[in-house]
Amino acid sequence: MGATVRHINSGKGTVTILNPDLDKKDVSDRGVVLDLRLRLLDGSQINVEMQMGPRPGMRQRALYHWARMYSSQLLTDQLELHLVQLRQLAALGSQEAEQEGALVGWGRFLMARDEQEREALAMTDPNLAKAKEVLDEAHTRFGEVPSEVALRVETATSEQLTRWGDRLMTVDSLEAWCAAMEDGE
């Protein structure tokens, strides 16, 4: 896989999703695979780590990942570390949620307790609706969707969701659909 996976056009420009594998420093290095690695317009990189619950050593892990990313960048003049806890994000009140914007909707979508809650959330945002539609179709045809595939769908652009949803109608297996997702980047 090349370094650049895909580009996302936002209102402020293009964000590039990078290969989540960080280069090994030497032969004995285990390497690091991030959940989501982004490059912003200014060239800075962002690591987005997602956890469903508390994990031992998370602070140390986040610091290690940040240090590896920081050392791999030639130019940087600042450090920012943001931790988003989905359970707390999903529990925000309406005023706090409004300040956080779409992040809260995605947090609640990812943490939905059941299908009814996910359906209600999908009705509030066209991107959540499309993500739910694609996940539902994949689940109906292929059974349980692996978490890494679900994550790709949940973080995809509207255009990707449309392409993948169309392709989903013509494939015979989940593996073929995943291959088509890769081909259509």
Predicted confidence at residue 90, as pLDDT, reads 67
pTM above 0.85, yes or no: no
Q: What is the pLDDT of residues 26-53, one digit of tens each?
A: 666 667 777 778 878 877 777 777 776 6
Number of domains in the chain: 2
Residue 16 falls inside a structural domain: yes
Q: What is the pLDDT of residues 82-94, one digit of tens each?
A: 667 777 776 788 8
Q: What is the pLDDT of residues 79-131, one digit of tens each?
A: 566 667 777 776 788 888 777 777 788 888 888 888 899 999 999 888 889 88
Name the burial class of residue 61, with classes exposed (0-12), middle (13-18) and buried (19+) by CB atoms within 10 angstroms of its CB.
Answer: middle
**Whole-angstrom distance, CA of residue 92 vs CA of residue 85:** 11
Domain boundary among 53, 72, 91: 72
Q: Name the residue range of residue 176's domain.
A: 125-185
Domain boundary among 56, 72, 88: 72
